[in-house]
Amino acid sequence: MSQPPPVGQLAYVLHSRAYRENSALVDFITPQGRLRAVLRSARGKAGTMARPFVPLEVEFRGRGELKNVGRMEGSGVATWLEGEALFSGLYLNELLIRLLPAEDPHPSVFEHYAATLVALAEGRALEPLLRSFEWRLLDDLGYGFALDADVNGEPLASDGMYRLQVDAGLERVYLFQPGLFQGAELQAMSEADWSSPGALSAAKRLMRQALAVHLGGRPLVSRELFRKL
């Protein structure tokens, strides 16, 4: 029985690098997860399209982990990022390459990624967008934890101090130590109230702690390039 022809799916390029003579090895994010594929004739028209932040429709061929790109064409208006927004977009791409398992469908991550690119291009405040994306990514991958309750299920006390137990959640502590979070800051984070004093800086510290264990101790290149991430 003949195989049905491959169906095009929405995709964005996360990263591309030269491969063999005229090809490129490209990491894509799609609703079906992160896919790696060989793009033939990468110096032609297809190669000019295989760049980050361009919405594409791509046919992937092959059953192994390394696919081949069949048809590839634009699917909407490319997102133009520059300056700090560009560095932020590259940071999102690196997070997805490092954290998303290959061929593990996460359609909500794809949708949130596409929406975040649009928001970055519109010039919206960077840090709330980045913190929201980090949190949604961790939660969708099964690494999330409650922001409004501690590890025992008790509501957070606004005057309490908490530390993150990455594999469990927020634990209340009664002796001061470095790296703690105030209950009021965490409550503001749970409500995305970024006008609350300290909420954004606390969210940045919390996400760094939560992400670190899943990044395996290897620094993110994009974060080194852009210190605000």
Domains in the chain with CATH codes: 9-74 (2.40.50.140), 83-226 (1.20.1440.120)
pLDDT value, residue 24: 87
Question: Distance (Å, rounded) from C-alpha 70 to C-alpha 59?
Answer: 5
Task: Tell me how far apart the alpha carbons of residues 94 and 78 are, in angstroms, rounded to a whole number.
Answer: 19
- On the CB side of 74, CA atoms within 13 Å amount to 10
Residue 215: how many other CB atoms lie within 10 Å = 15
Q: Which amino acid is at 96?
A: L
**Taking residues 198-202, what's their average pLDDT?**
94
For residue range 90-106, what is the model confidence (pLDDT) as tens digits? 999 999 999 999 999 99
Q: Which residue has the higher pLDDT, 216 or 194?
A: 194
Structure confidence at residue 44 as a pLDDT band (50, 70, 90): low
What are the φ/ψ torsions at residue 70 (nearest 5 degrees)?
-90, -100
User: Is the pLDDT confidence value at 62 over 60?
Assistant: yes
Token pair, residue 61, equals: 């061929």
Q: How many helices (H) and strands (E) does the chain have?
A: 7, 8
The answer to whether 103 and 63 have CB atoms below 8 angstroms apart is no
CB–CB of 57/10 below 8 Å? yes
Position 96 scores a pLDDT of 97
Whole-angstrom Cα distance, residue 86 to residue 81?
A: 5
Tokens (6 digits) for 48: 């000019």
* Residue 14: pLDDT over 80: yes
